[in-house]
Structure formats: structure tokens, C-alpha cells
Chain A
């Protein structure tokens, strides 16, 4: 099953889009925790693309490509922004950063997905979640 869509950079459309995706891809034995984590990573990546990548410019789009099988879920999201260096972000779990309100989206994705890579100078992200017993973290 695949999903390919171009979304306008409007944050308010994200929850409805995610609901639609989860409904479409959900394998029958996915746990509530797996669904929660996939939803969170998809939302954080879309917010980053729309807000930080496209700067919420109405004419800029976010490309979303999703491939779901019984064994894994692959999500690719690409914006039209200037890109960024994901290796150059502060660690939000360090004591000096704990009280900073922002900067946890990329960190959450890195920790909740099984494989994460950035491409095209940080304009794009590919993330993979393996389902239980298929090579994932759980």
C-alpha cells in the first residue's frame, strides 16, 4: 500500500491527514503504542517541513510518500526550504537544554523510529518503522 500526496504548508491540516494515513495503513496487529509513536513522528516531520522548511509559505508544498507492508512502514517527507544540518542540533536531554521549550521534534523522531536519514541537504527525511519481530527496536 502506498500514499503519495503534496500538502500545502498549513499546520491545521496535519491532524486530519495523519488520521487518514493511520486509518489506511494500520496493520491489524499494531499496538496502541506503535500507532502513537508513528503518529507522533509523522506529525513532527510534517510540522518541521511546513514550519521550518517552507516557513509556512502558502505557495510551498510538502511531498509525502508512504509505503506500508505487513513488515514495515516507510515515510518520506520533502519540503521546498533551504534545508538544515540535522547533526548540528543541540541535545534536548542535556541539563542545560531541558528547560528550553523547543527542539524536541527531530530528537523524538530519531528515538521512536527504527531508521532515520536526511537527504537533499536536510530538505527531506526518510524514516522507517519495522513492525514487531521484523527487525525493529521492539
Chain B
């Protein structure tokens, strides 16, 4: 999995690429650690190049949300493929996370 970061005003936009699975979830957690350490309050994860996610990936995202909430931060997702969106819908995690069709809509919501 690759993670590329861009800034949009006061928001950190992270473009995730590849699979989020049990073997690389720690890598994602480490990237989140950096964002939290830097004091980021608005974080957008863009899923347009994410091809797969498993339950350990979902767990990592939930931990990220909890940590951001504790610091008064916000987490937004954008551009999810239907297959991945389906996993969020089945698990009802679409009720927990703010998921947007595209980056613009997600950034506007901050």
C-alpha cells in the first residue's frame, strides 16, 4: 500500500493506494500516528486507488477516528469503490464514518 499526502488549506488529504490488509495495516497506523503527532485536525482519506480492505483495515480506521475525535479532529473519506462501500454498508460503518462521493464534497464539509 502507498500513502501520498497533499495539503488543502488546513486539511491533510491522504491518497491511499492498493490493498489495506492485515499485513500493511500497521503501516497505515504509523502514518496516522504521524498525522496525530503533527496535530492535524482535518484529515481526508481518499480511497479512489484502494482495491481492497479487510476487517483489520476497518479496525485501523476506527482507531484513527477515535484518536482524532479525542483531539477534536475530524475524519472524512472520499471516492470509495462500490465494492468497498458495500463492506462499510454491511457492517453499518457508513453510520460511523463520514463518506463522500468525491474530494470536493468531503473538503467542503470540514
Contact = CB atoms under 8 A, between A and B. Distances in A.
Interface residues of A, number: 26
A33 B83 contact: yes
B58 A104 contact: yes
A99 interface: yes
Interface in B68-99: 82-83, 86-87, 90-93, 95-96
A43 B23 CA distance: 11
Interface in B1-44: 19, 21-23
Contacts of A104: 55, 58-59, 91
A7 B65 CA distance: 35
Interface residues of B, number: 25
Contacts of B58: 101, 104
B99 to A, nearest CB: 14
Contacts of A12: 23
13 contacts: A15-B23, A43-B22, A47-B55, A93-B92, A98-B95, A99-B65, A100-B62, A101-B63, A102-B59, A104-B59, A105-B55, A107-B91, A108-B90
Interface of B: 19, 21-23, 52, 54-56, 58-60, 62-63, 65-66, 82-83, 86-87, 90-93, 95-96
Given A40-B87, A99-B66, A99-B96, 6 more contacts: A15-B21, A32-B83, A40-B54, A47-B54, A92-B91, A108-B55
